[in-house]
Structure 1
């Protein structure tokens, strides 16, 4: 049986690193933990794990936000299922959990960005989860890439 649990303590956050590393492979565990803890304090970042038989099989991280464009909404920062467990429905369960969390807390929509190269993921969002492709996300790095340890 699968269960969803919010990860709040440093120890809980550390347990999700092997799965999160599959998505954020540029991060070392120490940096990952520091970023999650800081984001929890400064950005209200929430990290949830889906457990199957007491083992984490997928994680999702999101931030409640308010902008003039979207009003009150949830921004999905991270969503990854263990590469050995994909296409079983775990990502869908976590995304639906966040959608319900958003409704329960009076947020009106859920948004995310996905790398251009992730065409299979795009099909998942658009065809299975009913998300619309509404914009492009642009980014400009302001850090010298030789001295950059976090993207």
Structure 2
């Protein structure tokens, strides 16, 4: 019997319940800022969130958005993907990322892209060896400080 289910989040309360798990990846965000950013991104940037439950326990969360650029064409950007640190190596990340891939194909997007911090060697190994992703570029950024 399948105990795993995936649900796209659409209510403020569902998004709030995913915060403790998202906090494991986005450690700089407090709950209020997280909620504000998610709701604004959903409203203005087509950001979507989905969670994976195993036996009704929240074990993984992803945030993604469809985009169009001249470099990638029509693609889905995976903004966030985190499996609860206590539940890693159980196939949850693979299942949730496969859900995003399926969503992208069903909505006629040509590819998926994501960024992963340089220090996250385990994540890189997961993406490359288990999910068949490849390194296509570096992501560079510049922070503006007030």
Q: How does 1:8-87 map to 2 (within 5 A)?
A: 8-87=10-89
Find the aligned partners of 1:139 and 1:69 in 2 and give their Cα distance: 17
Normalising to structure 2: TM-score of the pair? 0.97
- Contiguous gaps of at least 5 residues in structure 1: 145-151
Find the aligned partners of 2:17 and 2:9 in 1 and give their Cα distance: 9
- Please report how far the alpha carbon of residue 23 of structure 1 lies from its aligned counterpart in structure 2 after TM superposition: 0.2
**What is the Cα-based RMSD across aligned positions, in Å?**
0.6
- Please report how far the alpha carbon of residue 54 of structure 1 lies from its aligned counterpart in structure 2 after TM superposition: 1.1
SS of match in other structure, 1:62? strand
Normalising to structure 1: TM-score of the pair? 0.94
Q: How does 1:107-122 map to 2 (within 5 A)?
A: 107-122=109-124
- Please report how far the alpha carbon of residue 142 of structure 1 lies from its aligned counterpart in structure 2 after TM superposition: 1.1
- Contiguous gaps of at least 5 residues in structure 2: none
In structure 2, the residue matched to 1:93 is 95
The runs of 4+ residues in structure 1 deviating greater than 2 Å are none
Give the number of equivalent residue pairs: 144
- Please report how far the alpha carbon of residue 8 of structure 1 lies from its aligned counterpart in structure 2 after TM superposition: 1.1
Find the aligned partners of 1:54 and 1:33 in 2 and give their Cα distance: 22
SS of match in other structure, 1:58? strand
